[in-house]
């Protein structure tokens, strides 16, 4: 898919969505791109990252294979 096709595909998807949160996110993303600003994390995003880092430091991790296995089991239910 070339740049023109990709742009048109995205435009069509945006025109057909009613998801306000998605549209706000896309608007913010595109505005940041134009301004060349660094993305600012929300308080929620910061808390999730801090929680994830704490889990990692505490050794609360699982392998990718385990995640895939759990997802496969979940999908069978």
Burial readout 18-43 (b: 16 or more C-beta within 10 A, e: otherwise): eeeeeeeeeeeeeeeeeeeeeeeeee
pLDDT per position as a tens digit, 7-48: 999 999 999 999 999 999 999 888 876 566 677 899 999 999
Structural domain containing residue 59 = 3-76
| Predicted TM-score (pTM) above 0.75 | no
Per the rule left: phi > 0, alpha: psi between -120 and 50, beta: everything else, 21 is alpha
Instruction: Decide: 23 and 14 in contact? Cβ < 8 Å.
Output: yes
């Amino acid at each position: 898919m070339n740049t023109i096709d990709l742009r048109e595909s995205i435009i069509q998807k945006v025109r057909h969505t009613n998801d306000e949160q998605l549209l706000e996110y896309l608007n913010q993303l595109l505005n940041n791109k134009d301004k060349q600003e660094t993305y600012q994390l929300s308080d929620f995003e910061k808390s999730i990252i801090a929680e994830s880092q704490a889990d990692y430091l505490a050794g609360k991790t699982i392998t990718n294979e385990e995640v895939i296995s759990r997802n496969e089991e979940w999908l069978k239910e």
